[in-house]
Chains A and B, each alone.
Chain A
Amino acid sequence: MLYTLHEPGTIFTDFSDIERFDREFWEITKGLPIRTGSLTRLNSASFRLWRIGLTEENKPQIKALGDEFRRRDYIEMKNDSTIEGMETTNWSTMLRNSMARVMVHLAGEVLTALDGADREFHICELASGYGKTSISLASSLHAQGSDDLLSRMHFHFVDYSQEKLERTAYNLKPYRPAGIELAQQNDEQCLASATTAKFDIIFSLCHMHKKPFLGDLLEWIHERLAKKGAVISGDWHSSLSAHPRLLLRLLERIGAEPAKRRLLEDMFQNSLREPLPEMNAEESSAAIDHQEYWASVYNEILTSPSTKAMKSRHYVLSAFDTSKQRQELMEERGFTLDMDKIRKAFPSAKIHANPIHMIPETDRASVMIALKKRQTHPPG
Chain B
Amino acid sequence: MLRVRTIEDVVILDGFVQGITRGLSYPTGSLLKISAHYLPNFGFELSDDNQAGFEALSLKKYFEGWERAAKVTLDTIKEATRKAGFPVDNSHLNVEVGKIVVELLMNLAKADKTRQFFLTDIGSGDGETTSAVLDAICNEGAFELAERCEFMLVEPSGENAWNAVNSLKGNGKDKKGHRINKEHKVSITMVSGTNHDFLGRLNEGESDIIYSNAVFHHMIFPTYLDTLREGLAADGVLVIGDWYTTIFKHPALIAEILEDLGIDKVKLGEFRSLFNCSEGDEKKVYAGEDMRDEIITNYRMKHYIVGIGNAFLTIPEENRDEFLEGHCAFKDRKEDLEKKGFVTDSEALGEHPAFGGIKNNVRDVDPYGAAKVGAFAKAAKPPAAANGGQDKKQKLRAAA
Using a CB–CB distance below 8 Å, which chain A residues touch chain B?
81-82, 84-85, 88, 90-91, 94, 97-98, 100-102, 104-105, 130, 132, 135-136, 138-140, 142-145, 167, 170-172, 174-176, 289, 292, 305-306, 350, 352, 356-362
Contacts and interface: CB of A to CB of B under 8 A. Distances in A.
A361 B176 contact: yes
B128 A356 contact: no
B128 A130 contact: no
Contacts of B368: 174
Contact of A143 (B91, B138, B176, B364): B364
Interface string B87-118: 11001101110110000000000000000000
Contacts of B177: 359-360
Given A90-B163, A174-B367, A292 B174 contact: yes
Contacts of B135: 98, 101-102, 105
A355 B360 CA distance: 33
Contact of B86 (A94, A105, A171, A359): A171
Contacts of A140: 92, 95-96, 99, 365
A90 B136 CA distance: 20
Contact of B365 (A130, A143, A176): A143
B72 to A, nearest CB: 6
Contacts of A85: 71-72, 75, 79
A142 B177 CA distance: 31
Interface of B: 70-72, 75-76, 79, 82-83, 85-88, 91-92, 94-96, 98-99, 126-128, 131-132, 135-136, 138-141, 163, 167, 170, 174-179, 181-182, 359-360, 363-368, 373
25 contacts: A84-B79, A85-B79, A88-B75, A90-B167, A97-B91, A97-B131, A98-B131, A98-B132, A98-B178, A101-B95, A101-B98, A102-B135, A102-B139, A139-B366, A142-B367, A145-B359, A145-B360, A171-B85, A171-B87, A174-B87, A174-B367, A289-B174, A357-B179, A359-B178, A361-B176
Nearest to A164: B82
Interface core residue of A88, A101, A292 (most chain B CB under 10 Å):
A101
A173 B362 CA distance: 22
Given A94-B167, A171-B86, A306-B72, A359 B176 contact: yes
A141 to B, nearest CB: 11
A94 B131 contact: yes
Contacts of A91: 167, 175
Given A105-B139, A140-B95, A175-B367, A94 B176 contact: no
Contacts of B175: 91
Contact of B139 (A90, A350, A358): A350
A3 B394 CA distance: 76
A352 B184 CA distance: 14
B83 A94 contact: no
A135 B87 CA distance: 7
A238 to B, nearest CB: 14
A266 B37 CA distance: 71
Nearest to B360: A145
Given A105-B135, A139-B87, A305-B70, 8 more contacts: A91-B167, A94-B127, A101-B95, A143-B364, A171-B87, A175-B367, A292-B174, A359-B176
A144 B360 CA distance: 8
A75 to B, nearest CB: 16
A360 B176 contact: yes
A371 to B, nearest CB: 19
Contact of A101 (B132, B174, B363): B132
Question: Top 4 A-B pairs ranked by shortest CB distance?
Answer: A171-B87, A174-B367, A360-B182, A85-B75
A258 B126 CA distance: 38
